[in-house]
C-alpha cells in the first residue's frame, strides 16, 4: 500500500525563509505548491525536488478567491509573507502582516487544512514599531480565524542568503565606519534559517498535535548586541571598521532620507524597532520544546562570509584574533 503524499502550500515561498522551508519539505517528499505573486521567481526552486514535486502557483494576495485557490487541495499551509518597509498604498504592513495572513487563515479553516504554520517576529508583543505592532495584530487575527495555527516568532535570521550579515558585510567593503544605532545596546538572539525551517516542519508534522495552537519563540544559542555582531563580521571577513555611536534621534533623521531609496538600508520604523531587545522570553516555548538544537553563528557565518574576505575568498591571512 502506498501512502498519499501530503501537499503543502507555502505563501511567500520565494523569499529567504520560505525557500529554505521548501527545500526541506522537498527532502521529506512533500508535494509543494509555491504560492507567489510572481511564479517565475519560484523556478529556481524546482530543481530542489523531483519533476512536478515543487509547483509555482500564481496568487494575488489581495484577492481572497485567489488565496483560496492556492490553499485548495493542501493538507498543510505555511505563511512566510512579510515586509520590512512600506511602499505606497498597496504594499503596507497592514496588508502584508494582517489582512493577507487573515485571509490565508480563513481559507485554511474553510477548507479543513490540517496544520497551518505562520511566521511572525520575535519581540512583536513588546515592540513599538509599526512592523512589530502589525505582526502582533496579524497573530491575533490568525488565532481567531484558525485557533490551531502554530506561530513561530524568530529573532533576526542568518544564513547564506540573509539580508542582515550580507548587507553589513557588503557595506563594510565600501565605508570606513559602521553605525551603532542608539549606542548599539539592543540585544539580539540571531537564529539560523535552517533551524527556523526545522521548526516550521515540526509545526506541520509533530505527531501528537501538541504544537497546535502554540506560539514558539526562536532564538539561537548566542545573545549579542550590535557591537558583538560587528565583531563577528570583522573576524570572519578580516575587514575591521570603526564603530560610530549614533543616537536614535539622529539615526531616525538619516533614515528619513534613506527610506526614499528603492531598497532602503534603514527606515525610521526600523530605528524604532531597534529600541526593543529581540530575545526569547524565559517562559516562552522554544527550540528545546521541539527537540531542535539551534546552530551558533560561529559554525555558519564563516561558510558564507568568506565571500567578503579582505584579499578575496581564498585569502589565508584574513582572520582577526
Ligand X SMILES: NC(=O)c1ccc[n+]([C@@H]2O[C@H](COP(=O)([O-])OP(=O)(O)OC[C@H]3O[C@@H](n4cnc5c(N)ncnc54)[C@H](OP(=O)(O)O)[C@@H]3O)[C@@H](O)[C@H]2O)c1
Sequential DSSP letters for 164-188: SHHHHHHHHTT-SEEEEEGGG--EE
| Burial state string for 117-127 with b = 16 or more CB within 10 A and e = fewer than 16 | bbbbbbbbbeb
d(C-alpha 40, C-alpha 38), whole Å: 6
d(C-alpha 119, C-alpha 196), whole Å: 9
Q: Which is nearer to ligand X, 99 or 252 (CB)?
A: 99
d(C-alpha 143, C-alpha 139), whole Å: 6
74, 33 Cβ separation under 8 angstroms: yes
Minimum distance, C-beta of residue 215 to ligand X, in the bound complex (Å): 13
Q: Does 80 bind ligand X (CB under 6 A)?
A: yes
Q: Which is nearer to ligand X, 77 or 318 (CB)?
A: 77
Q: Does 91 bind ligand X (CB under 6 A)?
A: yes
290, 202 Cβ separation under 8 angstroms: yes
Instruction: Please give the grid coordinates belonging to residue 14.
Output: 520565494
| Only segment of 78-86, 206-214, 260-268, 293-301 that touches ligand X (CB under 6 A) | 78-86
Q: What is the widest separation between alpha-carbon atoms in the chain? A: 66
Minimum distance, C-beta of residue 59 to ligand X, in the bound complex (Å): 7
Under rule CB under 6 A, which residues in 8-47 are in contact with ligand X? 12, 14-18, 36-38, 41
Minimum distance, C-beta of residue 201 to ligand X, in the bound complex (Å): 15
d(C-alpha 229, C-alpha 215), whole Å: 27
Q: Does 300 bind ligand X (CB under 6 A)?
A: no
Under rule CB under 6 A, which residues in 189-248 are in contact with ligand X? none
From candidates 157, 204, 271, 285, binder to ligand X by CB under 6 A:
157
From candidates 154, 203, 268, 294, binder to ligand X by CB under 6 A:
154
From candidates 45, 49, 82, 178, binder to ligand X by CB under 6 A:
82
What is the binding site for ligand X (CB under 6 A)? 12, 14-18, 36-38, 41, 61, 80-83, 91, 96, 119, 121, 154, 156-157, 164
Amino acid at each position: 500500500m502506498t501512502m498519499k503524499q501530503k501537499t503543502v502550500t507555502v505563501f511567500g515561498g520565494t523569499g529567504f525563509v520560505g525557500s529554505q522551508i521548501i527545500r526541506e519539505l522537498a527532502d521529506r517528499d512533500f508535494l509543494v505548491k509555491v504560492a507567489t505573486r510572481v511564479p517565475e521567481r519560484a523556478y529556481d526552486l524546482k530543481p530542489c525536488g523531483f519533476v512536478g514535486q515543487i509547483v509555482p502557483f500564481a496568487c494575488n494576495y489581495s484577492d481572497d478567491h485567489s488565496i483560496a485557490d492556492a490553499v485548495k487541495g493542501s493538507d498543510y499551509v505555511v505563511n512566510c509573507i512579510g515586509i520590512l518597509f512600506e511602499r505606497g498604498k498597496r504594499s503596507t504592513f497592514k496588508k502584508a502582516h494582517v489582512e493577507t495572513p487573515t485571509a490565508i487563515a480563513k481559507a485554511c479553516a474553510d477548507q479543513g487544512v490540517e496544520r497551518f504554520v505562520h511566521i511572525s517576529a520575535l519581540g512583536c508583543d513588546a515592540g513599538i514599531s509599526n512592523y512589530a505592532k502589525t505582526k502582533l495584530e496579524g497573530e491575533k487575527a490568525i488565532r481567531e480565524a484558525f485557533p490551531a495555527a502554530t506561530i513561530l516568532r524568530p529573532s533576526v535570521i542568518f544564513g547564506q542568503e540573509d539580508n542582515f550579515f550580507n548587507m553589513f558585510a557588503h557595506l563594510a567593503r565600501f565605508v570606513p565606519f559602521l553605525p551603532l544605532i542608539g549606542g548599539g545596546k539592543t540585544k539580539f538572539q540571531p537564529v539560523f534559517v535552517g533551524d527556523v525551517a526545522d521548526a516550521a516542519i515540526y509545526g506541520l508534522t509533530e505527531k501528537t498535535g501538541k504544537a497546535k495552537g502554540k506560539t514558539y519563540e526562536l532564538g539561537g544559542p548566542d545573545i549579542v548586541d550590535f557591537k558583538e555582531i560587528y565583531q563577528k563580521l570583522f573576524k570572519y571577513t578580516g575587514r575591521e571598521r570603526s564603530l560610530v555611536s549614533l543616537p536614535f534621534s539622529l539615526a531616525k533623521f538619516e533614515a528619513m532620507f534613506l527610506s526614499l531609496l528603492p531598497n532602503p538600508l534603514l527606515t525610521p520604523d526600523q530605528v524604532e524597532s531597534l529600541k526593543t531587545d529581540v530575545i526569547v522570553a524565559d517562559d516562552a516555548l522554544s527550540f528545546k520544546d521541539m527537540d531542535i538544537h539551534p546552530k551558533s553563528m560561529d559554525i555558519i557565518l564563516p561558510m558564507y562570509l568568506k565571500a567578503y574576505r579582505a584579499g578575496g575568498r581564498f585569502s589565508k591571512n584574513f582572520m582577526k584574533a
